[in-house]
Amino acid sequence: MSTGWLVGSVVIAVIVAPLIGGLLRGIDRKLTAHMQGRIGPPIIQNFYDLIKLFGKKPMVAGKPQLVFAWGYLFLIITAVVFFALRQDLLVVLFILGFAGVCLVLGALSVKSPYSQLGGHRELLQMLAYEPILLLAVIPIALKTGGFPITNIFEYGQPLLPNLWLTFIALVIVLDIVMKKSPFDISSSEHAHQEIVRGVLTEYSGPYLAIIELAHWYELVLLLAILGLFWIVGSLWWLSILTPLAIWFILLITDNICTRLTWSWMVKFAWGVGISLIALNILVVNLGWM
Amino acid sequence: MVAILLALAIGFPILTGVICLGIKNHKARAGVVSLTTLVLIVTSILFLRQGSFPYSPPPTWDWVILVLDYVILAYFLFVAIRDFIQRGMSRHNVLAIILTLASGIPLAVFEFSKAGYLPLEAEPTLYIDHLSIVMCLIISIIGSLICVYAIRYMKDHEEHLHVEKTNQPRFFFFMLIFLGAMNGLVFSNNLLWLAFFWEMTTLCCYALIRHDETPIAITNAFRALWMCLIGGVGFTLAIIFAWNSPLHTLSLMTIIESGAVACPVLLLPLALLCLAGFTKSAQVPIQGWLLGAMVAPTPVSALLHSSTMVNAGVYLLLRIAPGFQGTNLSTFVAVYGGTVFLVTSILAISQSEGKRVLAYSTIGNLGLIILCAGINTPLAIACGIMLIIFHAISKGLLFLCAGAIESHIWSRNIEDMEGLAARLPILAGITIAGMLSMLVAPFGVLITKWGAMEAASGIGVWSTLVVILLMAGSGATTVFWTKWAGRLLCHSPLPGPRKPEPIIPLYHGVLILLIACAVVFSILITPIYNGVVAPALAEAGYGVAFTTGHWFLKSPIGIFAAWPIFVVVALALIIPSLRIRTKPEESQAAYMCGENVEMGADEFVAVADERTPLKTGGFYVETALGEKNLNRFVIPIGIVFLIVLFAISVFPLP
């Protein structure tokens, strides 16, 4: 692959990813509104919100808060860039993990009951999804002969037919990372619930905008990882449609489910997620798939 | 030249340790300790320039070692019996007596009647290669920095405890001979020499744990003694079995070069050496001694956890790993290490005492190194060696941070450290950076974890299990580190200027040096790999683990370029935290449903307009993941593992 191509894909990833992310969040709000019998905001409302938030006067409860907000955003962008450069998938996930640590530290740095509660719960969410996210890389690597994303492109066939068990596990991860019901444990969409807005409670104005922007990148990155399962072959367009379909299903679950407890989440994620991937690795090892 | 180097690395700290014993003056003792550390650091760097070489001292030294070994065992017997008489019978002193006899009597019977002649030699007696040079650098540099820090710490410690007559001569005696013994241990090739230095580290560990002479310190010292003596028994039996094998040798190199595949009889001595390594590295189910060792002054914990003692165990495993390559023992070691990593990482979540969190994290990381030894591929061994280096730096740093914090707040409880970032910004900042260096990319510990994960992703049922243990444990480490760092950061906006942090040169200097090492060495990971790790792999007969170029590590199955992440971390985290000043009008109090009393008051208006203090705390999940709950499973699992270890080494399956 030529250098020009790589630079191009990095630029596109950094610029286009938030646009897609913001749009998806807009569609999310519209669809949710329709499901609840409301008209809902325009699809590009989230862009308006972001611009407005950036224009507000900065207010923080302490310096660590803003340091970690910037850290969160920049590390997620780094993960996106590493992904666009087709680097080692495990490294991409490690950078994403560091970003998650920044979000939690930002929340825990304020002596606020809601922010503390949210931060600690976010840690439990990470405990639930991180092992699965990291483990999901193993069957991919076993199939394609290595951990760099380049290998997936050079593999020549789509991964999903062999690795659909891993794919399902990743869908669980996506739901926990998106903090959608039943996994909206560390922060809620609306501020009128018992945890206020959890990890996000103490963020306002431009710093809330930074976090929101980072969320858009994160959403697109995770959907792109799901897309890797179809990326090669004649059906490559499925690598765009499948993640979107999954995302739509998660929206529906969000609207029909209620929040569950963290202990249920950890048990469910570890029990189901790890078993699915372990099964998948065994099946791949035995040569059945 | 080489003889002088060896004398300086092993003999000099022992000599100055003895000198310390006679010095009453604090300043003079500080001078002797500083001189020793300087000599050790220079010597270790000279070893690096020298490269690998064999060395056999005159046979008189074999006699000296022979005699001293029994002297140490006799001392163990003496203190255990004295304790039995003074404090009555306890599980710990009885086991110490039994295990001392169990390791001493068979050894005596073997040496004086069965072997036929004395002293038993092995050619060469000492062998210095790159693995031992790496260990020597860690012991000499990090161990020395800890000793320098201890000069100030022990002064504070004794003032705080109102000690009438100072015990520092004895303290520094054991600290310094500990370093000498460790250097001797990593250079020994003759199993008898290795066993002698092994017992000597046990002795230092025992003496340093009971330093404060409180009842709990004495109890925990005896626990450490008998648990480590299990390893001593393992060593004695390994020596006897190795001598009685067809190889008829006490040379570790000969045993490893032959290997258990070519000579299945060697499986049992190798398994016994593994057992010795597990006990020294405080692996489940014998983790208790390292947790109990926390009663000792903090520099002792730092020394035990980073550069000495526990490192001896993982060093031995990495050393003998080529010997059990391709056997079931290797698979066992990998699964065992992974299990220990997972359970201790989960146990660490429920700990509210800082030093116990660090201790569980140490045991977990040692488990990870053992896992690497078990996977036994070039990539895994390279990561195991690098993990010893990076873990030593970060863990040494964190213990010293815990000690420095303790000298301010006189507590080890994480909840008492709430908001320390506001009161002691430099110390808290270094501590948080140290925690991040254990936890996140691009620091060295995580780079080695990455390598271990990729190395573990092989074909087969067992590697699937190992990789699951590794990933799940990794998730748990995120929880306890981040939670602790969060407690340090948690504070309300401060009205008005804050008091400047008191700078204590010996504390802050050592801490800054160590955190700088953690960062610089992580950036320089490719030269470190090429300079010491690759030669060590080649000497042990392994292939190439990484190719390096443009400051990235590339294995056949993966690639890690750490420096771009460092650039991002510098831009996104370090520069804002140093440069940005928040204006007073930009800071606001935390949201408390609009019932705040005033800025920075940490209070809210509750029922009947009463001012109620705001309290926050960390999650410890004690009912679900507490020691009480989990140890019911963890200890039996560990015991089952040890039974399996013997089953597979006595009845090796094809």
In degrees and rounded to multiples of 5, residue B282 shows phi and psi of 55, 45
Of B34, B9, B303, B13, nearest to B137 by C-alpha is B9
Is ipTM > 0.90 here? Answer: yes
Residue of B436, B327, B321 whose CA lies nearest to B382: B321
What is the predicted pLDDT for the residue at A171?
95
Number of domains in chain A: 1
Q: How many residues does chain B have?
A: 654
CA–CA separation, B417 and B404 (whole Å): 12
H helix or E strand, kind and range, residue B260: helix B252-262
Coil/strand/helix, residue B605: strand
Say how far apart CA A83 and CA B94 lie, in whole Å: 60
Look at A281 and B576 and tell me if their CB atoms are within 8 Å. no
Residues in chain B predicted with pLDDT less than 50, given as ranges, are: none
Question: Which residues contact residue A101 at a Cβ distance below 8 angstroms, ignoring those fewer than 6 apart?
Answer: B436, B439, B440, B478, B482
Show Cβ contacts of residue A113 under 8 Å, excluding neighbours closer than 6 positions.
B590, B592, B614, B616
pLDDT in tens, B458-500: 777 888 899 999 999 999 999 999 999 999 999 887 666 678 8
CA distance B522 to A213: 30
Distance CA B109, CA B628 (A): 43
Q: What's the CA angle centered on B34, arms B31 and B36, to 5 degrees?
A: 110
DSSP B496: S
- Answer for the pair B293, B224: CB distance below 8 angstroms, yes or no: yes
Confidence of residue A63 (pLDDT cuts 50, 70, 90): confident
Q: How far apart are CA A147 and CA A157, in angstroms?
A: 16
Q: Rounded CA gap, B547 and B526, in Å?
A: 9
* Cα→Cα distances B328→B252, B264, B267, B334, B644, Å: 20, 11, 10, 10, 11
Residues whose CB falls within 8 Å of the CB of residue B446, separated by 6 or more in sequence, listed in order = A94, B439, B440
Q: Which residue of A has its CA nearest to B623?
A: A263
In the block, tokens 């390791």 appear at B103
Q: How far is B459 from chain A (nearest CA, A)?
A: 6
Query: In B, residues 380-439, which contact A (CB 8 Å cutoff)?
Result: 419, 421, 436, 439
The tens digit of pLDDT for each residue in A237-259 reads 888 999 999 999 999 999 888 88
User: Å from A14 to nearest chain B CA?
Assistant: 15
Task: Read off the pLDDT band of A147 (50, 70, 90).
Answer: very high
**Residues from chain B contacting residue A271 (CB–CB below 8 Å):** none
Closest CA relative to residue B410, chosen from B402, B398, B419, B399: B402
Cα–Cα distance for residue pair B502/A225, rounded to 1 Å: 49
Structural domain range at position A153 = 3-286
With 0-12 / 13-18 / 19 or more C-beta atoms within 10 angstroms meaning exposed / middle / buried, residue B622 is: middle
Q: Cβ contact (<8 Å) for A120 and B483? A: yes
Give the whole-angstrom CA distance, residue B82 versus residue B610: 61
User: Which A-chain residues 36-65 have CB contacts (< 8 A) with chain B?
Assistant: 57-64
* Residues B30-46: b if buried by 16+ CB within 10 A, e if exposed: bebbeebbebbbebbee
Q: Do A109 and B564 touch (CB under 8 A)?
A: no
User: CB A114 to CB B491 under 8 A?
Assistant: no
For residue A289, the model assigns a pLDDT of: 58
Contacts of A202 in chain B (CB under 8 A): 590-591
- Using a CB-CB cut-off of 8 Å, the residues of chain A touching B454 are 90, 141, 147
CA distance A48 to chain B (A): 24
Name residues 104-133 of chain A within 8 A of B (Cβ): 104-105, 107-116, 119-120, 123-124, 126-128, 130-131
pLDDT score recorded for residue A284: 85
The model's pLDDT over B315-369, given as tens digits with 9 standing for 90+, comes to 999 999 999 998 999 999 999 999 999 999 999 999 999 999 999 999 999 999 9
pLDDT value of residue B276: 96
B624 neighbourhood in chain A, CB within 8 Å: 263
